[in-house]
Structure 1
Amino acid sequence: MYQLHDLTKTYRQGKRVVRALRGVSLTIGEGELVAVQGPTGGGKSTLLQMLGGLDRPTSGAVSLDGTDLASMTDAELTATRGRTIGFVFQNFNLIPTLTALENVETALVPGRVPRQSRASRAQAALESVGLGDRGDHLPGELSGGQQQRVAIARALVKDPKVLLADEPTGNLDEETRDEIVDLIEGLWKEQGLTTVLVTHDSVVARRARRRLRIAQGAVTELTGS
């Protein structure tokens, strides 16, 4: 699924050069559930951005199904993200003036899915995360856990091959955190999604079948509990 070869990412903060990724080489197989841990500023989010084609490396390659994302045009990257990759973020990133159903539908607009089909697919996605009866609610009328379920439905409605989640439980209490991790794990099992989960929470990370640690831009494999 993913092949990363000698991946580096540097950028400037004023006069300082930040090396967010330092020669990362890594393989993530199709259907794997991988957790990425590490300290703040260690490169977790940068790595996820590379996997999602949201940023380009300074050097090296990140290939998805044999195609180097860094070599794609902006239009090709947008199309790949629209077809293949679902994203879930810590802050949900829902549009506050749209209903839950409409928020999920937004993921289908770039793909020019007909309006009627968008609505039916969005409803099915909400049902898959246990919110089939909340489609007409605005984000402000939903709990944090429900908002994250809407965000997960929005990621899944495209039928992606990959789910990338950046601290998806970071704003949730422990009980709700466990519910969201149960949901992600269940969807991974049912749909066979390649899932990469960035988290600072070791309880969440231990639910993954494979764990990586990234610190100072370097990735190591974790073993044991």
Structure 2
Amino acid sequence: MYSITGLTKTYKTRERGTIRALDGIDVEIADGELVAIQGPTGGGKSTLLQMLGALDRPTDGSIKAFDHDLAALGDGELTRIRAQRIGFVFQHYNLIPTLTAAENVEAAILPANSGSLSAAERHEQAREALAQVGLADRVTHRPAELSGGQQQRVAIARALVKRPDVLLADEPTGNLDEHMRDEIWDVIEDLWRTAGLTVVLVTHDSAIARRTPRRLRIAAGRLTELD
């Protein structure tokens, strides 16, 4: 799925000069893998996830995915890949408060399908995605009527509805208590096992990371494998 060579990202700041957020990373992530990325705050986790998600460009190196070197693509092609091939889940859910669960999920379909689906087809796909994450009975509920765990399930359904190849999750359990954390992990693991997704998640939670088949650690912009 991903073949990364010499991946480097630097930023220039007035206070600290040049910062190397990523420092020559080499890593392969196979199609269908479930990988956790751990590390200290500021170590480069989110920067690496942005690269995997075609949200930012490296200063140097290559990141090959979807039969392309993402570093060499134009903005339009990167936008198409994000819309059609990659699903994103974030710590803070990012749901639109005035929309129902189904409407929040439907909002992700339009960019991916360029309006090719009818309203009825979009609504049916949204319902199916919500059913996948156990929310078939919550399609008309707005975010304020849902628990934190349910809101994160809606966010996962929103990422899945466009049927991506990759699911990227940035601290998906960070705002949840232990019980809800385990609920969301079970959802992600089940989707990985049944939907054939490649899943990469960034987490500070060692209890979650230890449940993944593969763990990586990034610190000071450098990546290592964990046992």
Range of TM-score over shorter length? over 0.9
Q: Secondary structure at the match of 1:160?
A: coil
Distance 2:175 2:85 in 1: 26
Distance, in Å, in 1 between the alignment partners of 2:139 and 2:67 is: 38
Tell me the secondary structure at the aligned position of residue 77 of structure 2. helix
Q: Secondary structure at the match of 1:155?
A: helix
Q: Secondary structure at the match of 2:107?
A: helix
SS of the aligned residue for 1:109 comes to helix
What is the TM-score with the length of structure 1 in the denominator? 0.97
Q: Secondary structure, in 3 states, of the residue corresponding to 1:53?
A: coil
Tell me by how many angstroms 1:15 deviates: 3.9
Alignment of 1:122-201 (within 5 A): 122-201=126-205
**Match of 2:144, SS?**
helix
Unmatched runs of 5 consecutive residues or more in structure 2 = none
Equivalent runs, 1:69-108 vs 2, <5 Å: 69-108=70-109
Note the alpha carbon deviations across 1:65-123, whole angstroms, 9 max, x for none: 33111111111111111111000000001111111100000111112233221100000
Alpha-carbon distance in 2 for matches of 1:4, 1:205: 22
The number of residues matched between the two structures is 223
**CA–CA separation in structure 2 for the residues paired with 1:65 and 1:26:** 16
Look up the equivalent residue of 1:222 and give its one-letter code. L
Between stretches 18-27 and 5-14, larger displacement belongs to 5-14
1:102-146 alpha-carbon deviations (Å, 9 max, x no partner): 000011111223322110000000000000111111111110000
Letter in 2 for 1:130: G
Aligned partner of 1:18 in structure 2 is 19
* Paired amino acid for 1:180: I
More displaced, 154-163 or 106-115?
106-115
CA apart distance, 1:12:
2.2
Query: What displacement does 1:159 show?
Result: 0.6
**Aligned sequence identity (%):** 64
Quote the residue 1:219 is aligned against: 223
Return the alpha-carbon distance in structure 1 between the equivalents of residues 34 and 41 of structure 2: 22
Following the alignment from structure 2 to structure 1, what is the Cα–Cα distance between the partners of residues 118 and 38? Answer: 40
Question: So what's the TM-score if we normalise by structure 2?
Answer: 0.96
Whole-angstrom CA distance in 1 between matches of 2:32 and 2:101 = 28
Separation in 2, partners of 1:117, 1:18: 47
Which residue pairs with 1:37 in the alignment? 38
Which whole-Å CA distance do the structure 1 matches of 2:35 and 2:125 have between them? 27
Which one-letter code corresponds to 1:139 in the other structure? P
| CA deviation after TM superposition for structure 1 residue 181, in Å | 0.3
* Structure 1 gap ranges (5+): none
Deviates more, 1:26-35 or 1:6-15: 6-15
